[in-house]
């Protein structure tokens, strides 16, 4: 699966599980970390873990497994590294504190919804 398709699929799966404020940011032109960041937040720590569980399960079923998952035991942030796509799932408080949307503002916000393209 291409990196944009992985990012788009991750965003859609998070949306189906009621994640909030989902952003897909194209960062390949400004960083070698990944091609895309997917950033979303849950309503609380239990919802954040539930979102991570669902995403991991559904993407694995599509043949896409994370290289690494960090923060699962924390109360506020799970990072899921899919090589060219990094998914950040926060509580609202953690998202406000770390403000990755602002830190990666030089990236390109991408339309991940139906009919969206990577540019």
**Contact between residue 60 and residue 80 where contact means Cβ atoms under 8 Å apart:** no
- Mean pLDDT for the chain overall: 92
What pTM, to 2 d.p., does this model score? Answer: 0.92
Report the percent of the chain where pLDDT is more than 70. Answer: 94
Two structure tokens written together for 110? 């991408």
pLDDT of residue 36: 96
Residue 3 neighbours by CB distance under 10 Å:
17
Domains in the chain with CATH codes: 3-105 (3.30.460.10)
pLDDT of residue 72: 85
**Beta-bridge partner residues of 77:** 90
3-class SS of residue 110:
coil
β-strands 77-81, 85-91 pairing? antiparallel
pLDDT of residue 1: 66
Two structure tokens written together for 5? 């398709």
d(CA 99, CA 25): 13
Residues 6+ apart with CB under 8 A from 16: none
Q: What is the pLDDT of residues 52-105, one digit of tens each?
A: 999 999 999 999 999 999 998 888 999 999 999 999 999 999 999 999 999 999
Q: What is the pLDDT of residues 3-62, one digit of tens each?
A: 999 999 999 999 999 999 999 999 999 988 899 999 999 999 999 999 999 999 999 999
């Amino acid at each position: 699966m291409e990196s944009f398709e992985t990012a788009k699929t991750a965003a859609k799966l998070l949306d189906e599980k009621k994640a909030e404020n989902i952003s897909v940011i194209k960062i390949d032109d400004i960083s070698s970390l990944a091609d895309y960041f997917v950033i979303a937040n849950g309503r609380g720590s239990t919802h954040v873990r539930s979102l991570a569980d669902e995403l991991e399960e559904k993407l694995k079923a599509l043949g896409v497994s994370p290289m690494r998952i960090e923060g699962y035991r924390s109360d506020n942030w799970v990072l899921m590294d899919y090589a060219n796509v990094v998914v950040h799932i926060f509580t609202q408080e953690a998202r406000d504190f770390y403000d990755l949307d602002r830190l990666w503002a030089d990236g390109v916000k991408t339309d991940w919804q139906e009919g969206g393209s990577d540019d």
